[in-house]
Chain A
Amino acid sequence: MNKQKEITETIAKIPSGATVMVGGFGSPGTPFTLLDELLRQGQDRLTLIKNDANEPGYGIAKLIEADRVDTLIASHIGLNRQAVGRMNSGQLRVEFYPQGILAEKIRTAGAGLFGFLSDIGIETEITDPSQIIEWQVDKSVTKRKLKVETALHADFALIHAARADHFGNLIYTDSAINFNPLMAMAAENVFVETFDLQAPGAFPPEQIHTPFAFVSTVVQVDLSPEYELMEHYV
């Protein structure tokens, strides 16, 4: 039951062309060390699913700048001008979803379901008429027009947890929670990095955010400068 593995063999399981979910909202919760290993190993034609594109020189921005990403599925990439430039020049395909809809599409996959109904963006250009159905929401006579949102699956998820045990029970912290627990449930193979790896039993059971059944592998990583305060913001 010990899911701790070395980072090299863990990331080597990701083939070129894979769809990979990456935790994090900006820097907090981004699995920087796992991403650096993916950069080092050279996999390409990746489809990445992350809220944003990190900031230039950080996290998935390095993979994008190294031409290793075909498609990015995100909600907002405004903090990464290089990624916006690549999108505008056609080098990077970007699919945008409203942030909470992106989260919910991932959560839905993680819940073993296939879709949900929503009214978000229904009267805007992000909605195609083919996505709309009429549905009897309650006992009222008139049906409502609602948008079918499908689940978003992935082959792999790269997760940053504040703490983990050898079983793969995970605890996140602060605003580094964000998409991590959702992605940890949604992907087929879930690789987790943490600074703080403990023996099972170290954490109060009711305080575990992601139970170990969802987790494939845990990698212990060291604190590196990417995880520290970004100077231009303090």
Chain B
Amino acid sequence: MSKPERPVRTERILLRAAQEIKSGLVINLGIGLPTLVPDYLPDDFDALIHSENGILGCGPIAKRAQARASLIDAAGHYVTLRSGSSCFDSSVSFSMIRRGRIDLCMLGAFEVDQSGNLANWKIPGKLSPGIGGAMELAQKAKRLIVLSTHTDKHGRPKILERCRLPLTAPVCVNRIITDEAVIDVTPDGLLVQEIAENISAEELQNHTEANLIFPKTNLTGTSGVRRFK
């Protein structure tokens, strides 16, 4: 599938995130990195993308000749509809979300912490464009995966012991996919499932404020943890 050139860190997150999208799932992809994931799916993928402005069954981003002014996704892109799609009002759209009918949601994050708390809607005094659909998606999607660079643009950790920004929802994140690792939120803490091939376990821990659990290994080794490109 053709797609624009993107930074290596971004590509790595998106390629790994695309592997989470399984046939038949109803998926919502939040603004930012998540909306780019479909560029990394095979053309014949069979998931149903929900867009909270009122679409179930979004197809690829529309080319100019296909675009309709009345048909955008929640991120504002002109989109196409795949066969079997439906369009509905905002009340129905969020009924679908609150009712637990979204199998998988991917959201971006300002901060995520070891309890699975998520902060992605407000930086007091700096950025507060509104809540949008984030609270309802974070609280009610069956499975929530956060896509984020492992550290912010200043190199500071985004995976914290405890979120400092206002929460979007408490204890909602199941998995975190970054350019450095795939990490699951478990009752025992943050369990590292995969590490990027160019980074050591020690470096990964140094880039993370919260304590990481490495299965069947110690901080200097990575046996038992899958590598990804």
Q: How far is the CA of A84 from the CA of B122 in the complex (A)?
A: 13
Whether the pair B69, A175 counts as a contact (CB closer than 8 A) is no
Whether the pair B73, A175 counts as a contact (CB closer than 8 A) is yes
Q: How far is the CA of A124 from the CA of B168 in the complex (A)?
A: 7
Whether the pair B87, A120 counts as a contact (CB closer than 8 A) is no
Q: Given A79-B76, A103-B90, A182-B91, do A176 and B70 touch, yes or no (CB 8 Å)?
A: yes
Q: Given A100-B94, A123-B170, do A177 and B132 touch, yes or no (CB 8 Å)?
A: no
Using an 8 Å CB-CB cutoff, how does the interface string of B98-127 with A read, 1 for contact, 0 for none?
100000000000000000000000000000
The count of residues in chain A whose C-beta lies closer than 8 Å to any C-beta of chain B is: 54
Nearest CB in chain B: distance from A71 CB, A: 14
Using an 8 Å CB-CB cutoff, how does the interface string of B44-80 with A read, 1 for contact, 0 for none?
0000000111110000001010011111111011100
Whether the pair B133, A174 counts as a contact (CB closer than 8 A) is no
The count of residues in chain B whose C-beta lies closer than 8 Å to any C-beta of chain A is: 45
Whether the pair B78, A229 counts as a contact (CB closer than 8 A) is yes
Q: How far is the CA of A179 from the CA of B73 in the complex (A)?
A: 15
Whether the pair B54, A178 counts as a contact (CB closer than 8 A) is yes
Nearest CB in chain A: distance from B221 CB, A: 39
Q: How far is the CA of A234 from the CA of B53 in the complex (A)?
A: 19
**A169 sits at the interface (CB 8 A):** no
Contacts across chains A and B counted by CB atoms under 8 Å: 152
Using an 8 Å CB-CB cutoff, how does the interface string of A97-137 with B read, 1 for contact, 0 for none?
11111111011000000000011110111100000000000
Q: Given A174-B87, A175-B51, A175-B55, do A99 and B136 touch, yes or no (CB 8 Å)?
A: yes
Whether the pair A76, B132 counts as a contact (CB closer than 8 A) is yes
> Which B residues lie within 8 Å of A104 (CB)?
91, 94
**A74 sits at the interface (CB 8 A):** yes
Whether the pair A75, B70 counts as a contact (CB closer than 8 A) is no
Whether the pair B69, A229 counts as a contact (CB closer than 8 A) is yes
Whether the pair A124, B136 counts as a contact (CB closer than 8 A) is no
Contact of B76 among A26, A96, A177, A181 (CB under 8 A): A26
20 further interface pairs, Cβ-Cβ under 8 Å (given A123-B170, A180-B89): A25-B53, A28-B70, A75-B131, A76-B129, A78-B129, A96-B130, A99-B131, A99-B132, A100-B133, A103-B94, A120-B135, A121-B135, A123-B167, A124-B169, A175-B51, A175-B70, A229-B69, A233-B77, A234-B64, A234-B78
Give me the interface of A with B, judged by CB distance under 8 Å. 25-29, 51-52, 74-79, 84, 87, 94, 96-104, 106-107, 118-121, 123-126, 162, 172-182, 209, 227-230, 233-234
12 contacts between A and B (CB under 8 A): A25-B54, A25-B74, A77-B130, A78-B129, A94-B130, A99-B94, A124-B167, A175-B55, A175-B87, A176-B70, A177-B89, A228-B69
